[in-house]
Amino acid sequence: MRKNPFRKYRGFFKGEFLNLLAFRFEILIWALQGFLNIGVMVFLWLAIYKENGGASINGFTYLQMITYLVMSALTSQWVTNGVSFHEVGRDISQGNIAVSLTKPVSYRGKSFFSTLGGMVGNFILFFLPAFLVAEAIFTFGLGLPFPQWSNLLLYLVAGLAGVVISDSFDFLLAQLGFVTNSLFGIMLIKNAIFSFLSGGLIPFTFFPAWAQSFLSYLPFSGLASTPVNILLGRYDLVSSFIYLGVAVGWAIALYLASVFANRQMIKHVESAGG
Amino acid sequence: MIEVKNVCKYFYRPYREPGLKGAFKTLFTHKKIVTKAVDGISFRVDEGEIVGYIGSNGAGKSTTIKMMTGILTPTSGEILFDGKKPYDHRDRRAILKDIGVVFGQRTQLWWDLPLRDSFDLYRDIYEIPEDEYQKRLKYLNDLLNLEPIMMSQVRNLSLGQRMRADLAAAMVHNPKVLFLDEPTIGLDVLVKEKITEAIKQINRDCKTTIILTTHDMKDIQNLCKRIVIIDEGHLLYDGTLKDIKKRFGDIRHIFVLAKNELDIGTMKAEFKDGLDVQKGEDGYLEVSYDADSLEAEEVYKYLLSHLEIKDLKVDETTLSSIVRKIYEEKSI
């Protein structure tokens, strides 16, 4: 019987991937928005560094700052795709959970594999080309060193942990669909808070000292700060593994929490109706 | 096959008083309103049957279907599906492969992808071997004529096309039991016929047990030998379609429009009150009689000899008139 437990979920993976292709225009707009954001950041920080006389701020030179921001924007492109939030929230508010219970698959597994499908799609379609272009500019245009292969590898592992963290958060937050229909607003708030707390907006070194260590051990750091700092070689090997461990630990804990939430949600649907 | 034993389903909703004051009160009180959606229903469904499950809006049909498919847990009583409880976590796994569900008002297809992808998804979920899947697909394709729409995105399908596709998707894994919750809702007459024909065919070919709810009595008449009627959570009738018609008599209604007046009292006396005559607002006389006890000839002869008839229509008792009567009187 247990030939391949993933076969059941292959369809959701593939489906979300194909969905991405079906909505390529929408995604392109999102990507464009990302580029505009980066553009604004580049000039904003240029102004700040000029004011500062070109010296480094909190351990970041201007170029390092730009690489950090570009990489964190690109990372969030594939690590946080919000598929679970979107789909689960919609299913809850439209009462579709009930229908999904008539299929022999776990609802949490379904949403997780949808996220993975979207992740791979985003990774190949947007992250990879953008990353290569960005690295080409940084390495050949600006003379910055290309990331070490070991760091690149660790970055991918940290990013995957980030995917699980982000997806589990999404699943948990989507439960709010039971009490409100304005999930889009919640998504905007969520994105704003997450990009701040994950170090995606500004590096942790810009926060006060007490907040730095505090934030590094929160699950949000796994979404941007940990993978990006590892990629850029700002962590030595030991701290790389420590933060990677933190991210993986949170990933497991949050995934379990989301499985628990899934069970509660189904219980609720079973007794109160979808 | 499926046994529903004295099943109840109560929903508890917080009681809200109207107005702002009431809204605040709700925050601190725990008063609850109980809605008895299903209240003590028992019946059984045997293998290979097509059972029509009817009732007015809010009668508890969907709730029962949801309990039978394991989406809702009964408040009390039990439902056994081949001896297993569909709403039990462990039993459910075994049962889900044996059931197919179509909710007429919801689709289970992948909205943004070509139809074909949805079928492939179900192949994976139900772990259907490729050769069996291809055979199955061919059968459903021939039955429901899916070929022309196979490559279109589901959101671009018309309601009729989508319903055909939904029916096929519920049948991909060849379930033993197919639950259809209002499968013909919002469809035009032709598509309805096609769907009911396909449902019949499925029942014949695959020996699939079919349980369907609908508001369309024509569907029921075309499909079911047996019907179950519920109202306000209670079982009103469980038996064959023939029996219910017999019980209500085979009443014919003749509508006559005539130039002259008819003495209603005399006519009733002539037939010893074996018929009923009423004058409608539109000027038509409605003569109703039981076809089992009176010959049509006598009635027509009487009418023709006493009236200068301008127009004449005949109606027989339909299931819908019976059901309307049952809904109105809340008993049988």
DSSP secondary structure of A99-161: HHTTSSS-HHHHHHHHHHHHHHHHIIIIIHHHHHHHHHIIIIIS-PPPPPHHHHHHHHHHHHH
- State whether B72 and A270 contact (CB < 8 Å): yes
For residue B300, give the 3-state DSSP assignment.
helix
Q: Which residues contact B243 (CB under 8 A, 6 or more apart)?
A: none
Contact between B65 and B43 under an 8 Å Cβ cutoff? The reply is no
Contact A19 B127 (CB under 8 A): no
Average pLDDT, stretch B45-70?
89
Report whether A151 contacts A52 (CB < 8 A): no
Q: Which of B72, B87, B120 to mutate to test the interface with A (most CBs of A within 10 A)?
A: B72
User: Which residue of chain A comes nearest to B124, CA vs CA?
Assistant: A8
- Of B322 and A208, the structure prediction assigns the larger pLDDT to A208
Q: Who among A22, A98, A104 is closest to B125 (CB)?
A: A104
Percent helix, strand and coil across chain A, each rounded to 5? 80, 0, 20
Q: What is the pLDDT of residue B243?
A: 84
Structure confidence at residue A114 as a pLDDT band (50, 70, 90): very high
Give B132's pLDDT tier (boundaries 50, 70, 90): very high
The model's pTM: 0.82
Q: Which among B11, B113, B127 has CB closest to A7?
A: B127
User: With a cut of 0.90, is the ipTM above it?
Assistant: no
pLDDT score at B218: 83
Residues 6+ apart with CB under 8 A from B271: B289, B294, B298, B299, B302
Residue B113 in contact with partner chain A when CB distance is under 8 A: yes
CB B70 within 8 A of CB B2: no
Share the mean pLDDT of chain A.
89
Q: In chain B, where does the domain assigned CATH 3.40.50.300 lie?
A: 2-245
Minimum Cα–Cα distance from B113: chain A residue: A19
The residues, ordered by sequence, that sit 6+ positions from A148 with a Cβ below 8 Å of its Cβ are: A233
Asked whether the beta carbons of residue A102 and residue B71 sit closer than 8 angstroms, the reply is: yes
Q: Which of B66, B172, B176, B180 to mutate to test the interface with A (most CBs of A within 10 A)?
A: B66
- Find chain B residues with C-beta within 8 A of A274's C-beta: 71
Q: What angle do CA A107, A110, A114 make, to 5 degrees?
A: 145
Q: List A residues 10-39 in contact with B (Cβ-Cβ < 8 A).
A: 10-12, 14-15, 18-19, 22-23
- Closest CA of chain B from A231, distance in Å: 36
Give strand pairing partners of B285. Answer: B256, B279
Characterize B63-76 residue by residue with b for buried, 16 or more Cβ atoms within 10 angstroms of its Cβ, and e for exposed: bbbbbbbbbbbbbe
| DSSP structural state of residue B182 | S
Count other Cβ atoms within 10 Å, centred on residue B291.
14
pLDDT digits (tens, 9 = 90+) for B262-299: 888 888 888 887 788 888 878 888 888 887 788 888 88
Q: In angstroms, what CA-CA distances link A35 with A29, A118, A137, A227, B22?
A: 10, 20, 15, 20, 50
pLDDT grade for A1, boundaries at 50, 70 and 90: very low
Q: Do A23 and B112 touch (CB under 8 A)?
A: yes
Q: How far is residue B146's CA from residue B164's CA, in Å, rounded to a whole number?
A: 8
How many angstroms away from the CA of A71 is the closest CA of chain B?
31
In chain B, which segments carry CATH 3.30.70?
A: 249-316
Q: Side by side, which strands form the sheet with B275-279?
A: B275-279, B285-290, B251-258, B309-316
Cβ contacts of A15 on chain B, cutoff 8 Å = 110, 113, 117, 121
| 3-class SS shares of chain B: helix, strand, coil, % to 5 | 40, 30, 30
Mean pLDDT of B127-132: 93
Which DSSP state fits B194?
A: H
B96–A103 C-beta distance less than 8 A: yes
- Confidence at A273, pLDDT banded by 50, 70, 90: low
Region B225-244: mean pLDDT is 88
How does residue A259 score in pLDDT terms, banded at 50, 70 and 90? very high
Q: Checking DSSP bridges between strand B226-231 and strand B234-240, what pairing results, if any? A: antiparallel
Look at residue B288 in the predicted model and tell me its pLDDT.
84
Record: contact B112-A271, CB cut-off 8 A: no
Q: Which residues pair with B51 in a beta bridge?
A: B211, B226
Structure letter (DSSP) for residue B153: B
Cβ-defined contact of A14 to B63 (cutoff 8 Å)? no
Predicted confidence (pLDDT) at residue B245 exceeds the cutoff of 80: no
List Cβ neighbours of B174 (8 Å cut-off, separation of 6 or more): B136, B206, B208
The C-alpha angle with vertex A14 and arms to B179 and A84, in degrees rounded to 5, equals 75
In chain A, residues with a C-beta closer than 8 Å to the C-beta of B70 are: 101-102
Contact assessment for residue A7 and residue A108, using Cβ atoms and an 8 Å cutoff: no
Cα separations in angstroms, A181 against A89, A98, A175 = 8, 18, 11
> A134: which residues sit within 8 A by CB, 6+ positions away?
A70, A71, A74
How high is the pLDDT of residue B209?
Answer: 95
Mean pLDDT of B223-236: 89
CATH 1.20.1250.20 fits B2-245, yes or no: no
- B199: nearest Cα among B215, B185, B211: B211
* Alpha carbon distances (Å) from B50 to B28, B144, B204, B219, B240: 49, 19, 10, 11, 11
**B110 interfaces chain A, CB cutoff of 8 Å:** yes
Q: Are the C-beta atoms of A15 and A116 separated by less than 8 Å?
A: no
Res. A17 pLDDT band, cuts 50 70 90: confident
- Average pLDDT of B110-120? 89
Has domain B249-316 been given CATH number 2.60.120? no
